Amino acid sequence: MKLVDINVWLATVWASHANHQLAKKWFDEEDDDLAFCRITQMGLLRMLTNPAVVGSEVLSRRRAWELFSHLMSDPRVHFLSEPQGLDALWMAFSKRDDSSHKLWTDDYLAAFAQAANLELATLDRAFLKRYPSVQISDRMLVSARPSRAGVRRRKARAGIRASTFRFHVQQKWCRRRQRRGE
C-alpha cells in the first residue's frame, strides 16, 4: 500500500497541473492500494477549493467532496487512521533546529508512512534527501516537472535580480548625467 502525497492527488485529478499526465497515467496503471490520511484528504479538499492554486477551475466545497468520494469509490483507494508510533516519529522529524513553517505537513506524512510501513508516493524530490529512512516511491520522480509554484519562485527570483540590475544601471546613468551637469 502507498500513502499518496497531496501533490500527487492534486496532479491526478486536476487536468491543468504540470504533472497531470504523469500522475493520471501512474494512478491508472498502479496495482497497489493507495491511501489517504486525514492530512492528505484535507490538503486535497483545500487545494481544489483555493483559486490561488487552481485558478478559474476552483471547485465549490460540495464539488470537492464529490470528487473525493469518487476517488474513494475506487477499490484500491483507502482512508487510513493514524498508526501506532506516529507521534514519536513526527516529533523526531519535526523537532529540527530550523524555522521552516513549510515542513510540518511533509514531516507528518513521512512519519505516517514510516509508522505504518507504507511507501510514500510524492512528486517532491526533496523527500528523498530529507527523509532517508522513509520508503519513497520514485517512479514518478524521474519524470516529474517542477511545480508551478517552483517555477514562479524561480521566475520571481530572476525578476528580482533583473529589476535590481535595471535599478543599478539606472542609478549609474543618473549619476553620470549629474556629473556632466545635465
**Would the pLDDT of 85 be above 60?**
yes
Give the CA diameter of the chain.
79
CATH number of the CATH domain containing 131: 3.40.50.1010
CA angle 17, 44, 8 (to 5 degrees): 50
Taking residues 136-154, what's their average pLDDT? 62
The residue with greater pLDDT, 11 or 160, is 11
Same domain, 122 and 175: no
pTM for the model: 0.78
pLDDT confidence bin for 97, thresholds 50/70/90:
confident
How many domains is the chain partitioned into structurally? 2
The parent domain of residue 115 ranges over: 2-145
- d(CA 63, CA 154) in angstroms, rounded, equals 33
Same domain, 37 and 10: yes
Same domain, 94 and 159: no
Same domain, 95 and 171: no
Distances (CA, A) of 49 to 9, 57, 108, 152: 14, 9, 22, 20
- d(CA 74, CA 171) in angstroms, rounded, equals 62
pLDDT confidence bin for 165, thresholds 50/70/90:
very low
